[in-house]
Amino acid sequence: MKIFLDSADIGEINALFDTGFIDGVTTNPSLIAKSGRDILDTIAEICGLVEGPVSAEVTATDFDTMLTEGRKLAAIAPNVTVKVPLTRDGLMTCRALTDAGTDVNVTLCFTAGQALLAAKAGAKFISPFVGRLDDIGQDGMGLIEEICSIYANYDFDTEVLVASVRSTSHVVDAALMGADVVTLPPKILTALYKHPLTDSGLDAFLKDWQATGQSIL
């Protein structure tokens, strides 16, 4: 399963990309606004840091303007994936960009039916928002299971990109269900490799090692 970083903060991306397990980056208008930077400059800089897909989202809501914005974003770098919302016009934009050879991430997916339409429109990625479904008492990970099953039934090439991840359990469940990608905020990515028993075990090993008076170097 691929791991994307959900961030538009260049400092965060730099720090975590050096770990070697970041396969791509996702951004959205809210993250760009939080960064306080120009969207085109930010996406260009991220693309220079990351070899994998970098999702850059359109902000228009009508087909013609979305398509124009999508083409402009795609021209920034070869690894830009244009992100569009799961609306009628968004799906039309997805088809037009896909037919022109541009990868598209269809976002704000909340039902399996929506995911089916995105695959039919040729999306490279579908982004179901599991945390937001959990927030309203629905089963976010149940949606991932449904989408993975439907895509497997028909051999769709669209990759399931689990978004709105709120916990490490979401990550593990996504992997068990066969999701292709998870996109994680930095705090969830960091939490994946942290555990109190790891810390206490390491402390015990180091204490015993220091008592030997030895040095490997």
How many beta carbons lie within 10 A of that of residue 181, not counting itself?
23
- Binning pLDDT at 50, 70 and 90, where does residue 78 land? very high
pLDDT in tens, 13-31: 999 988 899 999 999 999 9
pLDDT in tens, 37-73: 999 999 999 999 999 999 999 999 999 999 999 999 9
* pLDDT, mean of residues 143-149: 98
Residue 84: inside a domain, yes or no? yes
Given the residues 83, 124, 187, 207, the one annotated as active site: 83
Residue 162: inside a domain, yes or no? yes
User: Residues 6 or more apart from 89 whose CB is under 8 A from it?
Assistant: 61, 62, 63, 66
Q: Rounded mean pLDDT of the chain?
A: 97
DSSP code for 6: E
The answer to whether 120 is a known catalytic residue is no
Residue 53: inside a domain, yes or no? yes
Determine the structural domain holding residue 120 and report its residue range.
Answer: 2-212
Residue 114: inside a domain, yes or no? yes
Residue 173: inside a domain, yes or no? yes
pTM of the model: 0.95
Contact 160, 176 (CB under 8 A): no
Please state the domain count of the chain.
1
Closest CA to 180 of 115, 97, 113: 115
**Residue ranges of E strands in 91-213:** 104-109, 125-128, 159-162, 181-184
The enclosing domain of 205 has a CATH number of 3.20.20.70
Residue 141: inside a domain, yes or no? yes
Residue 96: inside a domain, yes or no? yes
Residue 217: inside a domain, yes or no? no
CA distance 160 to 107: 11
Residues constituting the chain? 217
Give the per-residue pLDDT at 18: 86
CA distance 129 to 151: 17
